[in-house]
Amino acid sequence: MASAGSCSTTSTAARPIPTTPPLVNLVRHVAHHFWARIEEINPEQADLNIPADLYSTWRRQIGVRHDGKPRIGVDTIVIAVRSFYYDLHTWAADEPERWAPWVASCPVPPSELRGLGQAPPPDQ
């Protein structure tokens, strides 16, 4: 039996999970800013198949923090959500028995990705 804080070696899928700042931010974006907000908007949402109208509502709301101030870094959150959905597809191809039940179409439309993460052109 593995002791507290160690990783079990009984499964090849069990690996230590790094807690680096980029990973912590990714988890925050997907779990807190995306999924928790989706559940606030639609408490009955049971899976990752997000209808377009629910995504649109989330997208409008995510631009404003809970304290009413504009959110900085919305692009980063949207990109993290898109990456999460595509990661699930990749994992499902590698381990379908584990990940395929979670696969869903990405709710982020491709048209929304154009220009995300790019700085605006400098004023001339």
pLDDT single digits (tens) 87-121: 999 999 999 999 999 999 999 998 887 766 566 55
| Total-model pTM | 0.72
Tokens of residue 106, six digits: 């990405």
For residue 50, how many other CB atoms are within 10 A of its CB? Answer: 23
- β-pair partners for 64: 70
Nearest-angstrom CA–CA distance, 58 and 73:
15
Taking residues 35-57, what's their average pLDDT? 96
CA dihedral of residues 25, 29, 32, 38 (deg, nearest 10): -170
In this predicted structure, what is the pLDDT of residue 8? 36
DSSP 69: S
Instruction: Please state the length of the chain.
Output: 124
